[in-house]
Structure 1
Amino acid sequence: MARQATSRWRLWVGALLVVGATAYLMGTAFHGATTYYLSADEALARAAGQRESLAVRVRGRVTPGTLQFDAVQSTLRFVLGPDETGAPEASARAAVAPGPSGAPARGIDVVYRGAPPDNLQEGSPVIVEGRLRAEGRLEATQVLVQCPSRYEADR
């Protein structure tokens, strides 16, 4: 009789551990999938009050004339500006957001160590993930190029 009670107790503990582990894994996977992104101005505003770097996911466009890739050091640099196709009010706020010196910010300086995405171009809409420092530099861990929502034929 005591042996059956012990076996039943172990079965319940094992089942609870499996259910708990499954719930934890689903919760962490769901959290990662639902993480949204900030606009360039929202990210700069959040980082301005921080002493330490801030983990962010930021959406914007590669500012034309700023895209540079150093193949020797495998370092990609560009300025992430507001995405004009996104919310128009966000673009207006980004134009007047104060930079580190108090002057209007031009965008976020992005530094990414690694090979650039194949379809990355100046003016491309991108989502950049990484750590944003208070001075406005984003040390990227991932650069994702967004595909256009529709393709138009050449005329």
Structure 2
Amino acid sequence: MKPRSKRLLLLAGAASLLVGAVALVLTAFQENLVFFHTPSEVVAGKAPTGRTFRVGGMVEEGSIQRQPDGLTVSFVITDMAQTVPVSYRGTLPDLFQEGKGAVVQGQLGPDGRFTATEVLAKHDENYMPVEAQYALDSAQMQKAAESMQQ
């Protein structure tokens, strides 16, 4: 075999290994990627079904319902325009309460109920995830515009 053929064969082998490694990394990255959606996007059908994602907003006043088992909790997340019912089984963060910001991670069921696997509460009075604050502000502006048209 000529030296030139050996180099081409070696280069082709290295390129195929590189392509394989990149494909594995991208597949692992895609499986672990979690997107953020607002309640308005979830209600509009823009959120994925059968995939894990996050929903953020405010915990609606009067919506927290604890089950007798002490671990199962139902509540509603809102962006002041739309609401998403959430069920969660586990221990809630200490700062989780009605009227405060929260981000939940899980999957949307076929009945429209979001089953959370993780609940994140804001850590002080001034903090809210940028996406959640933007969603709340956008929803309030849209609601104000609709009320002015009526």
TM-score range relative to shorter protein: 0.5 to 0.7
Taking the aligned partners of 2:97 and 2:125, their CA distance within structure 1 comes to: 17
* Contact 1:76–1:115, Cα closer than 8 Å, also in 2: no
Q: Work out which of the residue numbers 58, 63, 66 in structure 1 matches 2:60.
A: 63
Taking the aligned partners of 2:99 and 2:107, their CA distance within structure 1 comes to: 22
Report what 2:42 is aligned to: 43
Q: Work out which of the residue numbers 109, 117, 120 in structure 1 matches 2:96.
A: 120
Q: In the TM superposition, what whole-angstrom CA distance separates every residue of 1:36-65 from its partner, at most 9, and x where no partner exists?
A: x22212211107xx9x95544211111122
More off after superposition, 37-46 vs 21-30: 21-30
Change (3 A) 1:125 1:21: same
Q: Tell me, which stretches of 5 or more residues in structure 2 are unaligned?
A: 128-150
Q: In the TM superposition, what whole-angstrom CA distance separates every residue of 1:61-118 from its partner, at most 9, and x where no partner exists?
A: 1112222333626212111111xxxxxxxx4x43xxxxxxxxxxxx211001222123
With normalisation by structure 1, the TM-score equals: 0.56
Q: Tell me, which stretches of 5 or more residues in structure 1 are unaligned?
A: 83-90, 95-106
Taking the aligned partners of 1:53 and 1:140, their CA distance within structure 2 comes to: 14
Change (3 A) 1:133 1:23: closer
Report what 2:77 is aligned to: 80
Taking the aligned partners of 1:113 and 1:14, their CA distance within structure 2 comes to: 49
Q: How many residues align?
A: 124
Taking the aligned partners of 1:58 and 1:141, their CA distance within structure 2 comes to: 12
With normalisation by structure 2, the TM-score equals: 0.57
Report what 1:100 is aligned to: none
For the residue of structure 2 that corresponds to 1:77, the secondary structure is strand
* Contact 2:95–2:122, Cα closer than 8 Å, also in 1: no
- The alignment's C-alpha RMSD in Å is 3.8
Taking the aligned partners of 1:133 and 1:10, their CA distance within structure 2 comes to: 50
Q: Aligned letter for 1:29?
A: F
Among all aligned residue pairs of Structure 1 and Structure 2, give the percentage whose two residues are the same amino acid: 31
Change (3 A) 1:24 1:41: same
Change (3 A) 1:18 1:149: farther
- Structure 1 or 2: more helix by fraction: 2
* Contact 2:59–2:98, Cα closer than 8 Å, also in 1: yes
